[in-house]
């Protein structure tokens, strides 16, 4: 008979000694080296795919930045040219990007005095501020209603409202003139404020409706579970979130109201005290006006500076407000 006890004991002892000397050898997986295909002799070298994708992205980024720089130069060229002409000495015939030998502010003083810009800028500021405030006061609840509530004829009313975005306001100037005359509002501030509020209502309502529609519905439902009314939900939940959208809308409305020329020309014909900044700028055109390009350029800079200042102050919120409502949950 064969003694299997000794053999088994000896094998067990050997296995124990081997596991003690080199622990984990059996359980360690065998790692195969990655297979790399060797290029054929004489074949051209091809860069890795990741490097090619990175080079393409970098090339697209450089091209995009170059186009943005070019577009910025095209947009800034007229303003820089007008500013340089205004800084020349009075009576100088400067053209193009000719840099003045010394800075002269006499053209600005002359334009301020001849155009009566102290009254014109004040009137434009009052009209633009009133248009922005009244439009936001009306458009915020209107956009909230169109976005969050169901009511009869909501679709047709919204479609009818959107026609205001494509209707040329030049077609409404003559009817507005007759309407303001019947109401006795010609040559008053209301003749400048009310038509612009009505013309801005479609844009403001559509803007705020898109923003409120993009807000997650769970926020409104949570406010309702906490016992908030619809007005409290708008005031305490949605309005704090809509600050970027409101800021951007306010900047656009201020820009439109500040640059309005035709309505002021037709609806305030006989009251020089209500002349706005664009009307004051028109004082420097025509054969019987001054023909000094330096004074005219200075007047144009005075009209454009408030709009530029508003944009610089609100530029941080402008882009975020433009993107508000782009993502909808």
> pLDDT tens digit string along 159-179?
888 888 888 888 889 999 999
Residue 209: its pLDDT value, please? Answer: 92
Residue 318: its pLDDT value, please? Answer: 61
> pLDDT tens digit string along 45-79?
555 556 655 666 778 888 888 998 999 888 888 88
User: In the block, which residue shows the tokens 């402008």?
Assistant: 318
Tokens representing residue 96 in the block: 């193009």
Query: Do 164 and 202 touch, CB atoms closer than 8 A?
Result: yes
Contacts of 116 (CB under 8 A, 6+ apart): 272, 275, 280
Q: Where are the domains of the chain?
A: 118-278+305-322
Q: What does residue 100 show for φ and ψ, rounded to 5 degrees?
A: -70, 150
Return the minimum-mean-pLDDT range out of 27-31, 102-106, 147-151, 260-264.
Answer: 27-31
Quick check: 248 pLDDT over 70?
yes
Does this model's pTM top 0.85? My answer is no
Residue 290: its pLDDT value, please? Answer: 52
Q: CA triplet 47, 48, 50: central angle to 5 degrees? A: 130
Q: Which fold has domain 118-278+305-322?
A: MetI-like fold (1.10.3720)
């Amino acid at each position: 008979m064969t003694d299997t006890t000794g053999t088994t004991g000896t094998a067990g002892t050997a296995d124990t000694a081997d596991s003690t000397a080199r622990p984990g050898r059996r359980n360690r997986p065998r790692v195969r080296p990655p297979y790399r295909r060797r290029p054929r002799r004489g074949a051209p070298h091809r860069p890795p795919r990741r490097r090619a994708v990175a080079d393409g992205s970098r090339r697209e980024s450089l091209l995009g930045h170059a186009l943005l720089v070019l577009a910025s130069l095209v947009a800034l060229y007229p303003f820089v040219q007008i500013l340089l002409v205004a800084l020349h000495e009075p009576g100088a015939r400067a053209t193009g990007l000719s840099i003045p030998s010394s800075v002269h502010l006499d053209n600005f003083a002359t334009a301020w005095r001849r155009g009566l810009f102290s009254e014109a800028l004040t009137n434009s500021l009052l009209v633009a501020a009133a248009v922005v405030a009244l439009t936001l006061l009306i458009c915020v609840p209107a956009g909230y209603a169109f976005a969050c509530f169901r009511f009869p004829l909501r679709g047709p009313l919204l479609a009818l409202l959107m026609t205001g975005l494509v209707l040329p306001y030049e077609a409404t100037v003559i009817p507005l003139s007759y309407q303001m005359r019947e109401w006795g509002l010609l040559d008053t501030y209301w003749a400048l404020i009310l038509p612009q509020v009505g013309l801005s209502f479609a844009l403001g309502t559509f803007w705020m409706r898109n923003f409120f529609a993009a807000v997650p519905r769970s926020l409104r439902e949570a406010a309702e579970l906490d016992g908030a009314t619809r007005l409290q939900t708008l005031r305490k939940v949605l309005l704090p979130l809509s600050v970027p959208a409101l800021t951007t809308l306010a900047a656009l409305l201020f820009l439109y109201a500040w640059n309005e020329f035709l309505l002021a020309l037709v609806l305030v014909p006989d009251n020089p005290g209500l002349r706005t900044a664009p009307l004051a700028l028109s004082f420097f055109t025509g054969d019987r006006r001054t023909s000094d390009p330096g004074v005219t350029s200075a007047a144009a800079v005075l009209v454009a500076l408030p709009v530029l200042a508003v944009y610089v102050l609100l530029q941080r919120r402008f882009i975020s407000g433009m993107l508000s409502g782009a993502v909808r949950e």
